[in-house]
Structures are given as structure tokens and as C-alpha cells.
Amino acid sequence: MLYGDKGWQQLAEATTREDLIAVSEYNLRAPSERRLSVDAPVPFLGAVMTAPVVLLLTHPALDNRVTPEDYFFRRCGWPFAALHPEAPAGLSEWWQYRLSALVDRFGAQHVANAVSAVFLTPWPSEAFDAGLRLPSRRRMLDLAASAVARDALIVMLRGGELWTEDAGVAALPATRYFTPRTWRTTRVSQENLGDAAWDAIHKRVEVHAWL
């Protein structure tokens, strides 16, 4: 199934049905920074079924500038809508910082079609709880597995061994599975990922046809 806007909504609704009771119970006991926004889950950003580069992260981030509503922003032709010039300022800055090296080379709209992000816990929060396992976990792992099956490059920015619970992700060779040199930053750049990873990502993004 191709996850366009309609597919994204269907997946979000299915995730809500699976998770909502567990999320509500978790929020009763969680510290404030780990409480999950119940407005809507964000399973992924971007063209998750066609992007040649898929970023794996723990959760959609919230802070004093990024709100849950920001993740609802959409623009036709910009699957990764956070890169659009009219995107909410906080969300735009969050992703521009991480993807600026690619945007500077290829332009924002090209990168918006060539890069996707998947979240292990799809509910926005300020901080990630590594011990939380929601019913939707398998669904999120399946999104990563689908990317693996279609030969996408996988960039593990956050989540470490949690994403390797999927056998397909765990079995990826070093030519298709990249991790940062330091977990302190999630920038997709040559400095953070190394020469081999950057060269592979650069080539995949450069030749990606999306029009």
C-alpha cells in the first residue's frame, strides 16, 4: 500500500485504535516530559514507501517551539512537509537543522521527496521512554521492514538496538544501514555519518526520480 495523505490518515486511525487506551494509562503515571500527546499519532513523515533514504527515530519531538498541531501541516508535492517554506517555524527549524546538508545540495523539495522518517513510538512527546511498548510497536517495525524490503538506505538516528528487534533491520549489511558517529546529534551529514554513509546517501538522493 502506498502511504499518501489518505494512507497516512488510515494508518494514524488504526494506530489510534490500537494505542489509545495504553497511551491514556501511561500518561497517568508518566513524568510530564514523557507524556504523550493524544491529538494524533505521527507514524512517519515523508514518502515512506518510495523515499530511497529512511530515517529511524524514537518519537516525534515536542519542545517549546514544536507543537502537536505542527505535524498536521501538509503541502501537495512535499511529502516531507516540514521542509516546505510555509511549514510551522519550530518544526521547520528542527528538520532544517538535521537535513540542511542535503537541502543545500539538492533543494528542499527534492529532499522532501527523497527522505522519509519513521518513529518507533508514534505519539509526540518531549522525551522518549525506552521502556514503553505500545500495541503499535509491531506496526512501526513493519514500516521499517518495508523500507528494508524495497532496498532503501536505513539511517538509524535514534533508537539503537530497539529498531533491530525487526530481523530485517538487524540483518542489513553495513552498506545499507548507517548510524551516527555520535548519538548527541541527529544531523544527516558527512561529519556525523562518515564518508561512506554520506556518499551512499548522496548518490541515492541525487538520482531519485519523483515527478
Residue pair 1/9 in contact by the 8 Å Cβ criterion: no
Q: What's the confidence (pLDDT) of residue 90?
A: 96
How do 115-119 and 44-45 pair as beta strands?
antiparallel
- Which pLDDT score is estimated for 21? 97
**Is the pTM value of this prediction over 0.85?**
yes
For 153: left if phi > 0, alpha if psi spans -120 to 50, otherwise beta; the answer is beta
pLDDT in tens, 5-58: 667 788 999 999 999 999 999 999 999 999 999 988 999 999 999 999 999 999
Q: In the chain, which stretches have pLDDT less than 70?
A: 1-6
* pLDDT value for 34: 97
User: Within 13 Å, how many C-alpha atoms sit on residue 152's CB side?
Assistant: 28
Measured CA to CA, the distance from residue 148 to residue 175 in angstroms comes to: 12
Rounded-to-integer distance, Cα 160 and Cα 195, Å:
21
Q: What is the pLDDT of residue 2?
A: 46
Q: Rg of the chain's alpha carbons, rounded to an integer?
A: 16
Fold of 5-207: Uracil-DNA Glycosylase, subunit E (3.40.470)
Strands (E), the chain: 44-45, 53-57, 115-119, 153-156, 177-178
Joined grid coordinates for residue 2: 502506498
- Residue 3 has a pLDDT of 52
